[in-house]
Amino acid sequence: MSDNHPERLSSVSVLRPVASAPADETTATMVEMLQDHLALVRDGKLRSLALVSVSRDGAAIGTQWSCTHGDSASLIGKLAVLTHDLMAARD
């Protein structure tokens, strides 16, 4: 980080190493995808991000997002298209 933006230092989280490898290929794929997106965020190549999480038993679904003003409508639209595609793939 440069000294030009000292206010960013307060939002830095210390990452801890993963003690063991992911349990399976699906978990490894999710970890890799998250790491790829984190790299894009660090490089300043993303301005908005939405994440949908589903618990192992499928009973809980969570959404998290971080977006620039004006991107929320676009994210909602993209998530609606994704939902439609996922539902169509189930049939």
pLDDT digits (tens, 9 = 90+) for 17-28: 777 766 788 888
DSSP 62: E
CA distance 13 to 83: 32
* C-alpha atoms less than 13 angstroms from C-alpha of 85 in its C-beta half-sphere: 6
DSSP 19: S
| pTM recorded for the entire structure | 0.57
pLDDT tens-place string over residues 65-86: 888 888 989 988 988 998 899 8
